[in-house]
Amino acid sequence: MAASSAGMSVLLCNNIKQIALFYPSQQRQSLCVIRGIYTPASLCQSKGQIKRKSAPKELVGVVGLEVHAQIHANTKLFSRAGVGFQAPPNSLVSFFDASLPGTLPVLNRRCVEAAVMTGLALNCFINKKSVFDRKHYFYADLPAGYQITQQRRPIAVDGTLTYSHLGGPKRNALVTRSVRIKQIQLEQDSGKSLHDDLRGQTLIDLNRAGVGLMELVMEPDMTCGDEAAAAIRELQLILQALGTCQGHMDEGQLRVDANVSVHKPGDPWGIRTEVKNINSVRNLARAIDYEIQRQVGVLDSGGTVQNETRSFDAKSGRTVAMRDKEGLQDYRFMPEPNLPPLMVYDHCSTVPPGVHPSQVVALEEVRAQLPEMPSVRRAMMVEAYDILPEHSFTLMNEEGLMDYFESVVRETKAGPRKVIGWVMNVLLGLLNQHSLGVSQSPITPKALAQLLDLQETGLISSSVAKQVFQELWKAPGKTARQVVQEQNLEIVNNSTEIHRICQEVVDTHPEQLQAIRDGNKRVLNKLIGLVQKETKGRADPVLVRAILEDMTS
């Protein structure tokens, strides 16, 4: 409590002036041209569209994201307690994490490297000298009463995240956009609180308190849920490729808060709300789209949007106001007195003499160790397999699908273009239908490769191949060849046999024959269908069509 009287200082008076009514003190307002098309999908769902058609400008969404990525390291940011997801409560807590008096922070080199690597991968300018600050607020899961962060001078600034998403009218054209990254800063995580409403208490687990986080602050360059979801997916892939964060949103390793507002293009920004409690990329899109709609609804009915924090409820798909965050917070930022500035160097050779190598983080070294970025891998796939960028994008987007695709291509004689069709349409379709991930697919790459070989060598027709695929899905133990033999699905291309069947069909359907001769070529398909029915789909379709065309000319 003695510290509180020290708080009544000049610093306090200055901080009060910084409280902006509509934006928090840590985000500078910058002019941003809203490019980009407001996607029809979300617009179409909102009511009152007819009323707005006559208005000259429509309300568009403005979305900015704040991402907290948990650094993948063995120990925490300022203490050597371990980092783990499901450990016994309060077992991964050091005296410093519990903020016992007399403890001091000791910075983890791995966290600095992770932040620098992430900054370089996102084209940021790395500040050679960055400083740490204290952000004060009282909450039971923040034992010290403040969080050590880097608000004034973070480790990386001014970067770009380039991402793509399937847009356009049919949502199958690859649209590439980018979002500016304002800064990347190192900061501490807080502990976890479990609310026990029954007994009116909160249980605190400090295992997560002090874990290193990279906070990525993005400029509000996005306009809807789809774009935000695509940007976060790309960020996940980049962080996973770098190894700096495992990126699982459901485990809390990647936390995203969305700042959403609406305005008419050209007008100043509207009042924004912050949406929290989003635990998946899909829910991010849902939450943002709902919030945009909600704000449009409020403004349309003549109300005003409140500057508040809202929580996303995944079950109902709606955002609700959070009761705990009242009014505006003043974090009373102050420099962290226990930590000197953090220095990173350009090159090993620019290091002043007497500095031990273990104390040096050099940008050139880190840059040299950067692994292959997802965008590079996607471009390579397009080159190597002659597939479309859209294909490459979908392959990369589904976890494990790219490896699956490459395995199949390796083991089959069929060309990559054919494999892409099977993998993206047939396999992915069934996986989505049954809500399975690629790793849970009952059909292994080897099995699919064998099936495609059967089709390639002409043993079965393409429609039969699809049938066999369905069978293999239900009975994963069998091979394609077994299923074909058991159900007698080999292709029938015995020309006499097919001739006989075709003749039979033509003879029994004189009206259709006349229709074709009169010029309606589409009736031919019906006859082909009848022939296939007769042969249980095993007839060689090319041959059947040729024979029937011949007969009906």
Partner 1 sequence: MRWSTQINNSKVPTVATWEPVLENQLPPPNEVPADLVDKLERLALVDFPNQEGLACLKKSIRFADQLHVVNTEGVEPMDSVLEDRALYLSGDAVADGDCADRLLQLSKQTVEEYFVAPPGNIPLSTRDRAMLKCSASKLEDTSIKTV
Q: Which of residues 115-174 bind partner 1 (CB under 8 A)?
A: 131, 136-140
521 near partner 1 (CB under 8 A): no
Q: Which pair of tokens denotes residue 18? A: 């910084």
Indicate the helix (H) or strand (E) that contains 142. none
Nearer to partner 1, 84 or 168 (CB): 84
Q: Which pair of tokens denotes residue 167? A: 């847009």
Closest-CA residue to 395 (of 371, 410, 383, 377): 377
90 near partner 1 (CB under 8 A): yes
93 near partner 1 (CB under 8 A): yes
Type of residue found at 444? T
CB of 253 to partner 1, least distance (A): 17
Nearer to partner 1, 106 or 546 (CB): 106
Show Cβ contacts of residue 291 under 8 Å, excluding neighbours closer than 6 positions.
258, 260, 273, 275, 310, 319
Of the residues 47, 80, 171, 500, which one makes contact with partner 1 according to CB under 8 A: 80
Of the residues 110, 282, 377, 418, which one makes contact with partner 1 according to CB under 8 A: 110
Closest-CA residue to 287 (of 217, 232, 214, 236): 232
Q: Which pair of tokens denotes residue 362? A: 């050099």
CB of 91 to partner 1, least distance (A): 5
481 near partner 1 (CB under 8 A): no
24 near partner 1 (CB under 8 A): no
- Which residues in 212-241 contact partner 1 (CB under 8 A)? none
Backbone angles phi, psi at 60, to 5 degrees: -120, 155
DSSP for 300-322, written as a single string = HTT------EEEEETTTTEEEE-
Of the residues 336, 453, 456, 490, which one makes contact with partner 1 according to CB under 8 A: 336
CB of 137 to partner 1, least distance (A): 8
What's the CA gap between 14 and 113, in Å, rounded?
A: 34
510 near partner 1 (CB under 8 A): no
**Helix, strand, or coil (residue 237):** helix
What's the CA gap between 356 and 457, in Å, rounded?
A: 65
109 near partner 1 (CB under 8 A): yes
- Which residues in 59-78 contact partner 1 (CB under 8 A)? 73-75
Cβ proximity of 404 and 412 under 8 Å: no
In which residue are the tokens 């990254």 written? 181
- Which residues in 388-447 contact partner 1 (CB under 8 A)? none
Tell me how many residues contact partner 1 (CB under 8 A): 71
Of the residues 24, 25, 34, 98, which one makes contact with partner 1 according to CB under 8 A: 98
Nearer to partner 1, 317 or 340 (CB): 340
20 near partner 1 (CB under 8 A): no
Of the residues 335, 389, 442, 541, which one makes contact with partner 1 according to CB under 8 A: 335
Nearer to partner 1, 96 or 404 (CB): 96
Q: Which pair of tokens denotes residue 186? A: 């190192």
Give the Å distances, CA to CA, from 269 to 33, 34, 226, 437.
11, 10, 20, 40
Nearer to partner 1, 216 or 361 (CB): 361
CB of 72 to partner 1, least distance (A): 10
- Which residues in 350-389 contact partner 1 (CB under 8 A)? 355, 358-359, 361
Which positions from 289 to 328 touch partner 1 by CB under 8 A, shown as an x/- string? ----------------------------------xx----
195 near partner 1 (CB under 8 A): yes
Q: Which pair of tokens denotes residue 143? A: 């034992």
What's the CA gap between 479 and 454, in Å, rounded?
A: 11
348 near partner 1 (CB under 8 A): no
What's the CA gap between 378 and 237, in Å, rounded?
A: 12
Nearer to partner 1, 63 or 71 (CB): 71
Indicate the helix (H) or strand (E) that contains 15. helix 10-18
Q: Say how many C-beta atoms besides its own lie within 10 A of residue 105's C-beta.
A: 18
Nearer to partner 1, 340 or 429 (CB): 340
Give the pairing of strands 273-276 and 309-313: parallel
**Helix, strand, or coil (residue 396):** helix
Q: Tell me which stretch binds partner 1 (CB under 8 A): 84-92, 173-181, 291-299, 400-408.
A: 84-92
16 near partner 1 (CB under 8 A): yes
Of the residues 94, 273, 412, 455, which one makes contact with partner 1 according to CB under 8 A: 94
Q: Which pair of tokens denotes residue 10? A: 């000049």
Q: What angle do CA 36, 38, 27 make, to 5 degrees?
A: 65
Of the residues 52, 68, 248, 332, which one makes contact with partner 1 according to CB under 8 A: 332
CB of 342 to partner 1, least distance (A): 5
What's the CA gap between 191 and 469, in Å, rounded?
A: 49
Of the residues 7, 48, 303, 429, which one makes contact with partner 1 according to CB under 8 A: 7
4 near partner 1 (CB under 8 A): yes
CB of 148 to partner 1, least distance (A): 13
Nearer to partner 1, 211 or 296 (CB): 211
Q: Which pair of tokens denotes residue 219? A: 């400029």
Cβ proximity of 206 and 141 under 8 Å: yes
- Which residues in 196-215 contact partner 1 (CB under 8 A)? 196-197, 200-206
25 near partner 1 (CB under 8 A): no
**Helix, strand, or coil (residue 143):** coil
Q: What is the largest CA-CA distance in the chain?
A: 103
CB of 258 to partner 1, least distance (A): 23
Of the residues 62, 81, 211, 218, which one makes contact with partner 1 according to CB under 8 A: 81
Closest-CA residue to 152 (of 136, 135, 133): 133
106 near partner 1 (CB under 8 A): yes
Closest-CA residue to 154 (of 357, 395, 333, 365): 333
179 near partner 1 (CB under 8 A): no
Nearer to partner 1, 40 or 101 (CB): 101
